[in-house]
Amino acid sequence: MMATFTFGLICGVFFIHMLSMQLSRLFSTLFFILLSLSHILAGEISFSESLTDDESTGISQFKVYTHTISGGAETTINGVEFDRLDNSQTPSDFEWEVSSVKNQLTNNNGGWDPFSGGVEGPGLQSLLGSFTFNNNGDPGSNQTFTLSGLTPGQEYEAKLYCRKWSDGSERTQEVTFTAGDQISDSVLFAEDRPEEDPILVSSRDSAYYISYTYTADAAGSLSIRFDVTGAPQTGSFHMYGMSNEVIGDPVFLITADTDEFVYEIEEDGLVSKLIGSYDGETEEAEFTLVEGDGDDDNSLFKIVDDELRAGSFDFSSADDGTEYFVRIRGKGLESEESGETQLIFRLIGEKEPTPFTFVGPLTDDESSGISSENDYTHAISGGGAENVNGVEFELLNANVTPDNFSWEVSSIKNQLDNNNGGWDVGASGVTGQGLLDLLGSFTFNNDGAVGSNQTFTLSGLESGATYEVRLYMRKWDNATQRQQLVEFTSGDLTDSITFSEDHPELEPIEMQFRDEAFYMSYSYTAGASGELSIKFNVAEDATQGAPGSFHMYGLTNQVLLPSDDDDNDGLPDVWEEKYGVDDPEGDDDNDGLTNADEYEYKTRPD
């Protein structure tokens, strides 16, 4: 019995020992998991030392940011563009909520002396010169910034750039950072007293930033809430600028030294230098254009060494502000690391002046620009003979056609005399009697369906002379649009424009009100034939109202410059003398283009 008891006791002790060891391992594992989890979930708040130049901010084009936001005004620091936040504009993947009213100030330092604080960086001064704020600065008021679109599991560092507003305020705030559903981290500080704990910079006028490092959870968001905690009228937090940087393993980045290029660029012209960097350090790299997301316009460009250059595409044919998307791969020659990225380049610069101009609103006779001192080849009124500022307008109607002028229609010629239709003269602001008379009668093509057309041809012009033709217009009715594709042809050159005569409030006319009167001008040089044809094609688009043919109320053709082509061959005398040519059909350089072609295309005939 004793032996059996002893054996059982030993077995029991051994079992308890083994159970204790298993529980110890279990608790150790749980403690490690909880410790690791708390490390993942916990964020860290810190304050920087005094910021002085742009480099001290840590902002760099060689870093990856999800958000770079400026309060009140756009700015750029070290090649990094900051999006504007104000009371009417919010960047993407970002929200700003306030307990009172959103407000902002631009280019306003208040009582801050940046030079006393040692702040000399122009980018940093610009970032700290404008800000947003909650209009209520009393205790209990608050505002929240929310960043979204973050990658779950990715580590980030959010920074808010700050400085003093005035010596008479403190703006004591409790800032609370919450990454998704994680535990929040908070700190209490006085934004206007950065020399005090917990900021502790060198001077009250010093600039600084608040940093929060964190890991995004499944929600992929970060909220930053500021609660006013000081005395009454302490002041709400001023948001001058913030960034949210991706941190973690180093990556190879490709950037450009500019994101803009001019429309005059020629083939092989430099668009931008390409820069490769690894772990924040630039290095020599090899670059190539590659297929993938963001390669839409790769075919328009080429890469030579570290330069992105223009291909054979004529960028002068594109509109100012057009964006081009290029995908580039780079490999560092030292690090041997590589990466790919999409770069966006914007076309800038004024294009060649358009020959078309819309002028208005026209009110009195003087505003029409019609004057007896001008030299006109044609002054024609549709449907009634009129007089404006001493200039006699010849009658055009279904039965009467002025000299050196023809009118052809695809249907039937028609006209109305002294008929304003649905035009509200009072609302138009037109008071000049001559202008009212000119806009009161008109000719038109009887068929207003899409595709119908009519053509005015001015003849008897002097080859090589410069002219300006004007068409005077106004709305006919609210239920019509009279969208027109108008083609002006002089010699071998045709210019075209589309507009809606009954919708002058739309592009490209852009009057403020629909009832306002206006004119369209077209400047041109007469060709060898001495003619200008103006063809109106009824077009259809999304403009409100039924189609309709063009109403011709009044037309003038003014001489701007006499002919500079003595031999009347279409080539200006100065151009002929410059290049030593005189035959429009000749091809002195044997390139397949006649001298007339060379002049039209603005190329050299030699």
Tokens representing 104? Answer: 């902002």
pLDDT at 187 over 80: yes
Lowest mean pLDDT among 138-152, 160-174, 224-238, 341-355: 341-355
Amino acid at 574: V
Residue 18 in any domain: the answer is no
Same domain flag for 56 and 180 = yes
Same domain flag for 228 and 333 = no
- Report pLDDT for 384: 84
Same domain flag for 341 and 368 = no
Q: Which of 289, 323, 348 is the last residue of a domain?
A: 348
d(CA 338, CA 361): 59
Average pLDDT over residues 34-51: 69
- Report pLDDT for 562: 79
How does residue 109 score in pLDDT terms, banded at 50, 70 and 90? very high
pLDDT at 77 over 50: yes
Average pLDDT over residues 589-597: 87
How does residue 463 score in pLDDT terms, banded at 50, 70 and 90? confident
Three-state secondary structure readout of 490-542: ECCEEEEEEEECCCCCCCCCCCCCCCCEEEEEEEEECCCCCCEEEEEEECCCC
Same domain flag for 429 and 552 = yes
- Report pLDDT for 31: 38
Same domain flag for 89 and 171 = yes
d(CA 12, CA 577): 119
Over residues 282-305, the pLDDT tens digits come to 899 999 999 999 999 999 999 999
Note if the bond before 504 is cis, omega within 30 degrees.
no
Over residues 320-338, the pLDDT tens digits come to 889 999 999 999 999 999 9
Residue 498 in any domain: the answer is yes
- Contact (Cβ atoms closer than 8 angstroms) between residue 271 and residue 162: no
How does residue 602 score in pLDDT terms, banded at 50, 70 and 90? low
d(CA 81, CA 344): 13
Q: Which of 247, 282, 307 is the last residue of a domain?
A: 247
Of the candidates 182, 186, 184, 183, the residue with the CA atom closest to the CA atom of residue 226: 186
Same domain flag for 213 and 268 = no
Residue 472 in any domain: the answer is yes
Same domain flag for 420 and 535 = yes
- Mean pLDDT across the chain: 88
- Report pLDDT for 352: 58
pLDDT at 35 over 70: no
- Which residue did the predictor score with more confidence, 185 or 279? 185
- Report pLDDT for 591: 86
Same domain flag for 381 and 343 = no
- Report pLDDT for 540: 83
Same domain flag for 298 and 375 = no
- Which residue did the predictor score with more confidence, 84 or 16? 84
Q: Which residues pair with 98 in a beta bridge?
A: 143
How does residue 576 score in pLDDT terms, banded at 50, 70 and 90? confident
Q: Which CATH number belongs to the domain containing residue 531 in this structure?
A: 2.60.120.260
Residue 201 in any domain: the answer is yes
Distances (CA, A) of 536 to 168, 375, 485, 498: 69, 26, 6, 10
How does residue 233 score in pLDDT terms, banded at 50, 70 and 90? confident
Same domain flag for 214 and 182 = yes
Average pLDDT over residues 202-228: 95
Note if the bond before 361 is cis, omega within 30 degrees.
yes
Distances (CA, A) of 522 to 435, 466, 496, 564: 20, 11, 10, 20
Residue 374 in any domain: the answer is yes
DSSP secondary structure of 156-205: EEEEEEE----TT---EEEEEEEETTSPPEEEEEETT-TTSTTT--S-TT
Tokens representing 12? Answer: 């029991």
Same domain flag for 386 and 343 = no
Residue 568 in any domain: the answer is yes
Residue 36 in any domain: the answer is no
Question: Residues of the chain with pLDDT > 90: what percent?
Answer: 70
Task: Give the SS3 label for residue 21.
Answer: helix
Over residues 114-158, the pLDDT tens digits come to 999 999 999 999 999 999 999 999 999 999 999 999 999 899 999
Residue 26 in any domain: the answer is no
Q: Does an H or E element contain 23, and which?
A: helix 2-41
pLDDT at 27 over 50: no
Distances (CA, A) of 363 to 366, 436, 522: 8, 9, 21
Same domain flag for 401 and 518 = yes
- Contact (Cβ atoms closer than 8 angstroms) between residue 475 and residue 514: yes
Lowest mean pLDDT among 30-39, 74-83, 412-421, 505-514: 30-39
Domains of the chain: total: 4
Q: Which domain holds residue 289?
A: 252-348
- Contact (Cβ atoms closer than 8 angstroms) between residue 225 and residue 143: yes
Q: Which of 348, 382, 404 is the last residue of a domain?
A: 348
Q: Which CATH number belongs to the domain containing residue 295 in this structure?
A: 2.60.40.60
Over residues 239-264, the pLDDT tens digits come to 999 999 999 888 898 999 888 999 88
Lowest mean pLDDT among 26-40, 278-292, 553-567: 26-40
Pairing of strands 376-382, 391-396: parallel
pLDDT at 220 over 80: yes
d(CA 470, CA 452): 22
Tokens representing 417? Answer: 């005399």
d(CA 480, CA 199): 67
